[in-house]
Amino acid sequence: MKKIVILLLFPIWGLGGFGFSYAQKKGGKLPPKDTEGYVSAGIMVQAFHYFGDVYSNSIQFTRPGIGAYIARKISPKMQVRLAVSVGSFAGNDASATEGSAIYARNLSFRNRIQELSTTFTWDILASRGKHKQRRGFTPYLLGGIALLHHNPQAQLPQSMGGGWVDLQSLGTEGQGRPDYETPYNRMQIVFPYGIGLRIKTDDRWDIALEFSPRLTFTDYLDDVGGSYPNMADLGNPLVSAVSNRTAEPTEIASGKTRNMRLLAQNFGEVISYMGTDGVIYKTLPDFGATGQNRGNPKSNDIYMSISFKIGYIVNVGLKCPQFR
C-alpha cells in the first residue's frame, strides 16, 4: 500500500525538480511561444453519488464532500494535480417502486469515503505565455488514478437499537467463513475521468466546475454483490439481521410501514423456518435461499462527483518541464 501512495504522489514530487525560475536564468523574461509552468492550489466543494446494487436513483442519495488540491502546469494544454477528498454516498431499496423485487429486498447503506488522487487535465484550448495570459474560459478533460478508502455501514433494526454498524467486518454474505469468499478490501484503486470547465476570474484566481465518474474494481461499495449465505453459517443474530431484511415490517430510514400486503401478493407471505443451528429465521419466500443472488455479481459499483473548485496560483515564473 505504501508503494501505491508513493506512485500517486510521484508526479507532484517529480515535477518539483523542474520548478526553477526564469528570473534566475533569464532575468525574468519568458522565451517567445513558451509556457509558464505555474503552481496552483485550491479547495473543492463536492457532491458524491453512487450507482450499484442498492437503489440510488434519486438525488436524495447524493451526499456532500470537500477536498483540496495542488496542481502544476506542465505544457500549454496539460496540468498534473494531486487532490484529497472526503465525502459519502448512500442507497436504500425502500425508495424503489413498491412491490418490486428491489423494494422487497429492503437493503440500505451509507458509505463514508476518503480519496487520494493524481489526475492529468487536458485543456481543449491551449494557453501559452505567463499565467496572466491564460485563457479566460477553458473546457478540459481529465483522467488519472486514485486510492479509495471506503466503509459501508447499515442501520440495525429498531429491535436491536437502530444504531449504525460497519458491514465489511460482519461478512453479510458469509465472507471470511469456511467455504465462502474472503472479505472484500476497504482500500481500492479507482480510475477517475471526466470533464470540466475552468474560468479565470483575475490574474491569479480561477473557478471551475467538474464532473467525474470513477471506474472501480469492486462490487462492494454497498456491501452487496454476491449471494445470500446460509443464515446458520453466520453465527450471529446481528449479522443475519442485516444480511436478509425482507421480512422487516418497517423502513429503517423513515420508520414508515412497508407495504407487506403488496409484497405478499407478489412474492408470498413471510415464512419462518428453522436453520441448521436451531434458530428461527424469517424471509420472503423468493429471497434468502442459500446461493440465491443478493446483488448483481456481474457488474462493479461506480460513484461520481460534481466539484466546484476555487483555485489560486501560488507560484509563478516556473519553467514547464521539457518532455522529449
pLDDT (average), residues 9-35: 50
pLDDT of residue 7: 52
Please choose, from the candidates 79, 61, 78, the residue with its C-alpha nearest in 3D space to the C-alpha of residue 70. Answer: 79
CATH number of the domain located at residue range(s) 2-315 in this protein? 2.40.160.20
pLDDT of residue 206: 97
Tell me the whole-structure pTM to 2 decimals: 0.89
Tens digits of residue pLDDT in 224-272: 999 999 999 999 999 999 999 999 999 998 889 999 999 999 999 999 9
Question: Exposed, middle or buried, 84 (CB in 10 Å: 0-12/13-18/19+)?
Answer: middle
pLDDT (average), residues 24-43: 72
With a CB cutoff of 8 Å and minimum separation 6, the contacts of 60 are 95
Which H/E stretch holds residue 2? helix 2-16
Query: Count of CB atoms within 10 A of residue 30's CB?
Result: 16
Percent of the chain at pLDDT > 90 equals 80
Tens digits of residue pLDDT in 161-185: 889 999 999 999 999 999 999 999 9
Q: Is the pLDDT of residue 105 over 70?
A: yes
Query: Count of CB atoms within 10 A of residue 79's CB?
Result: 21
C-alpha 240/C-alpha 230 separation (Å) is: 9
Q: Is the pLDDT of residue 59 over 50?
A: yes
Task: Please give the grid coordinates belonging to residue 316.
Answer: 509563478
Q: How far is CA 9 from CA 3, 70, 86, 280, in A?
A: 10, 11, 18, 53
- For the CA atoms of the chain, what is the radius of gyration? 25
**Choice among 2-16, 66-80, 132-146, 239-253 with the minimum mean pLDDT:** 2-16
With a CB cutoff of 8 Å and minimum separation 6, the contacts of 239 are 170, 171, 172
**Boundaries of every domain in the chain:** 2-315
Which H/E stretch holds residue 10? helix 2-16
**Choice among 13-22, 52-61, 117-126, 259-268 with the minimum mean pLDDT:** 13-22
> Is the separation of the CB atoms in 148 and 117 below 8 Å?
no
pLDDT of residue 297: 86
Q: How far is CA 239 from CA 61, 218, 231, 297, in A?
A: 24, 21, 9, 21
Reported as a pLDDT band with limits 50, 70 and 90, residue 21 is very low
Question: Exposed, middle or buried, 17 (CB in 10 Å: 0-12/13-18/19+)?
Answer: exposed
pLDDT of residue 230: 95
pLDDT (average), residues 126-153: 95
- What's the mean pLDDT when you consider all of the chain? 90
With a CB cutoff of 8 Å and minimum separation 6, the contacts of 153 are 109, 110, 111, 112, 164, 165, 166, 167
**3: phi then psi, degrees, rounded to nearest 5:** -65, -35
